[in-house]
Structure 1
Amino acid sequence: MQQQWLAERFEEERRQLFAVAYRMLGSAAEAEDAVQDAWLRLSRSDAEEIDNIGGWLTTVVARVCLNVLRSRKTRGELSLDADALGDRLPEPTVVLDDATAQDPAERAVLADSVSIALLVVLDQLSPDERLAFVLHDLFAVPFEEIASMLDRTPDSTRQLASRARRRVRGRTPTDDGSAQREVVDAFFAAAQNGDLDRLVAALHPDVVLRADLGSGVTTYRGAAKVAGNAVMYAHSDRRTHAALVNGSPGVVITIAGKLFSVMAFTVEDGVITEIEAYAAPAQVAKLAASLGLESAHG
C-alpha cells in the first residue's frame, strides 16, 4: 500500500520535477533520467520520515542535476555560447503550431519548455549559479533550502542568484510571440523568393547561425553569410511548417512529408539575432518520433 501511495504522489510531482531538471540540464533525456533517479530514491525511502514529499523530491532532483553540471565542468565540456561550440546544441522541445490547440499533452510539453535563448544563457552560468537562479527565480524555492543543497550560507546563495539574474536579463529577448512569428515568416518568405535584400533586412548584422548536421556544430556569422545560406537551402521540394520550438516561434522543415530539420530563432527588436538548425540524423529521428513523423534521413 505504501509503495502505491508513493507512486501516486510521485506522479503528481513528475511534471514539476521534469520542469526543474530540464531547466537545469537543457536536455530532455537527462532531465528524465534525473526524475527517474528521484523516484528510485523515493521508492527506497521511509515515507513516514518525509514531511514534504514534493519538496524532498525537488531537492533530490536538484542535487542530481547539480552533480551532472559539475561533472560536465570537470570534463571540460564547452558552453553553448563559446566560439568553438563543440558537438551539441540545447535539446529542443517542438510542437507544431496547428496542433497546440487540440492536444492537451502537447500543451503540457509547451508549458514545460523554455526558450532556446534562455537555455543558451543558463549554460553560461556556473553550476551553483544555475541552481540558485532556476530554483529561486523560476520555482520560488527559498534561499535557505537552496543554501543547504549548495553547502553555502543563504546570503551567499542570494548573491549567486543575483549574479545569474543580471546575466539572464541582459541576454534574453523581450519581443512577444506574435512579433517574433512575423519576423520568422518574413525570413522564410524572402528565402523562398531568393530575395537577399529582404533576408538581410530580417537579420541583425551580427546574426549567428549554429547548424548541427551530425558531425559537430558549424557556426556562421553575419547577415550576408546567413542570408546566402538561407537562399542556397530554399528548395521547392521542402516545406516549412510553423512550430513552437521551446515555446518560441520556429519551423519544422519536411521533404515529402518526412522531417528534414528543425530551426529555432531568437528575435530581438524586430530582427533575428540567433538561429539554431537541428539536422543531425539521430536528433531528427528523435524529434520525428515525438511529432509522429518519419525522418528524411532514413
Structure 2
Amino acid sequence: MTSANWSEPAGGGPADTVGLIGLGPMGAPIAGHIADAGYRLRVWNRTRETAEQLRPHAEVADGVERLSSRVILSALPDIDHLDRLTPSSVLEQWQHDGTARLIVLSTTSPDKVRALAARVAPFDITVVDAAMSGGDAGATAGTLSLMVGADRETFGDLLPLLRTFATTIENMGPLGTGAAAKLCNQLVVAGTLVSLAEALHLARKSGLSDSQLARVLKGGLASSAVLDLKADKLLGRTYELGGSAVNQLKDLRYAVALGDDVGARLPLARESAALFEEAVNQGLGGHDHAVIQEVLEAPQLHHTNQNRISSP
C-alpha cells in the first residue's frame, strides 16, 4: 500500500474499500467526508436505519463480518465495544477478504490498544490508534485533531485518508502513544469544563450576569475552544448530547490509571473525575459533559475524595 493509492478514489473490491464501524455523532460525519473525498465506503452500525441514511454514498454491510475493507476505522466509544463485535470468526472473514489495517478512533487506554493489536495480529491485521478530538462540531466540519500511534511507513500510507476528516494530524510515536496523547487532551477538556462551571456558578451566586461574564472570558486570557463550543449549553443549562458525561468519566479514569502506571501526579484529574462520577451517579451521564455544572448548581452528594476514583 502506498500513499498514492489513497490519494485517488478507490476501486471496486474489498481490498480497495474503506470500512467504518459506528455511525454516532462522530462516525456519521466522518463517513460523509470519506465518501465525499471519492473513496469507496462500506459502513456498519448497530442501528441499521442510521447506516441506511448514508446511501447512496456508502454500501451498508449486513453484518460486521461483511465490513471487510482494506482499511477499517472504528468510531465506537471504546475498544470494549469493538472487542465484543469482533470475535475470531469476524477477524477470519476480514483476513480472508483482505483487511490489512484497523484504525481505532476511540478514546481508550494505551493498554487496551496494545491488547487489541496482539489479538488481531494472528489475522494479519495491523492496529493504528488515531484518537480524535474536536467533538461533533469538528467531525461535522472535517476539522478534527488526530493523535496517531503508528510506525512511520503506516502513518504515511494512511495520511491522505485521515486528511479527509481531520486538519491537525500528529504521529505521536509507536502504537499506544495516540491513546496516551488523547488522555492528556481530555484532562484539559475536563478541567476547563469544571473551571467554567465553577466560574459561572460563582458569578450567579455573586449576583453577576453569567452571559456577561462569558463574553468577558471570551475576550481575555480565559478564552478557549471549550468555552466557544460549550457556552450556549452552560448558559442555557441545556445539555443536548455532544460528548457525554459518562464518556468524560471513562476518559478521566483511564488518565488517572495511566498516571498511576507512569508515576504522574494528577490531582486536578482526580478531582474532576470525582465530580463527573457524581454527575453520573445522579443520572446525568447521558447528557453533554457540560452538565457537570449541575453538580455545582444543585449539590447533593458532593464529598470530595481524590482516592476513590474507580478503575476503568
Settle same-fold status: TM greater than 0.5.
Answer: no
Q: Give me the TM-score of the superposition, normalised by structure 1.
A: 0.32
Q: Give me the TM-score of the superposition, normalised by structure 2.
A: 0.31
Structure 1 or 2: larger strand share? 1
